Amino acid sequence: MTGLTLALSKGRILDESLPLLEHVGIAPAGDIDRLLRVPSTRADVSLVMIRPADVPTYVEHGAADLGIVGKDVLMEHGGSDLYEPLDIGIAQCRMSVAAVKGYVAPRNRRLRIATKYPEIARRFYAARGEQVEIIKLYGSMELAPLVGLADQIVDLVATGNTLRANGLVEVEKICDISSRLVVNKASMKMKHAAIQHLIDAFRDADAKRV
């Protein structure tokens, strides 16, 4: 039997993945809060629990055959060293530019942009010919404009509650984001039938959920 290792992003994607996995006939058979490798109820599928930003690396290197990860992480990671066969439609949000309400762009210096996504931000501003200074943060981007660290932020927005609560407004949407199934390129060749089955099962499960 061809065993498959599926990398799951810990956090909100994991929470939203579990019901979808159930539709595919996969449930963790172990303590997913503590264990990093967890067998599943399907003998041919084992699960690994990974921090979202590390999922593309595990899948690219073949440490996992497949993974579930946000499009934001894939865009920031860059490259095309893995296949992205399916949008599984969970963890929906958008990547946006935001600023303090009533904000006016400075004229005498470059815009300062705080973000956890420096590559996405760099590409976005470069595409419009704006030279900006990018400040890399690891979380709570919404604070940066409030304390003068940045003029704008590039971050994920879903309900808009976090922006509103902090007196920020969305200036512009960069793109829509959802989670994707990604596949290691060699695995796709070597374990093609098993992986194609799983991709089809995820597609069916997604169709049945809506």
The footprint of ligand ATP (CB under 6 A) covers 9, 11-13, 51-52, 70, 72-73, 91-93, 156, 158, 177
Q: How far is the CB of 138 from ligand ATP (least distance, A)?
A: 7
What angle, rounded to 10 degrees, do the helices at 192-209 and 12-24 form? 100
Are 132 and 206 in contact, with CB atoms under 8 Å apart? no
Residues 147-186 contacting ligand PRP, CB under 6 A: 155-162
Q: Which is nearer to ligand ATP, 164 or 192 (CB)?
A: 164
Q: Which is nearer to ligand PRP, 97 or 198 (CB)?
A: 97
Q: Tell me, what DSSP letter sits at residue 10?
A: T
Q: How far is the CB of 120 from ligand PRP (least distance, A)?
A: 13
Q: Which is nearer to ligand ATP, 95 or 99 (CB)?
A: 95
Q: Which is nearer to ligand PRP, 158 or 190 (CB)?
A: 158
Residue, CB closest to ligand ATP: 70
Binding string, residues 122-151; x marks residues near ligand PRP by CB under 6 A: -----------------xx-x---------
Short-list 131, 165, 168, 164, CA closest to 153:
168
Per-residue CA distances from 28 to 33, 43, 48, 63 (Å): 11, 11, 10, 19
Pairwise CA distance, residues 75 & 183, whole Å: 15
Order of strands, sheet of 111-115, starting from the edge strand that comes earlier in the sequence: 132-136, 111-115, 152-157, 93-100, 168-177
Q: How far is the CB of 153 from ligand ATP (least distance, A)?
A: 14
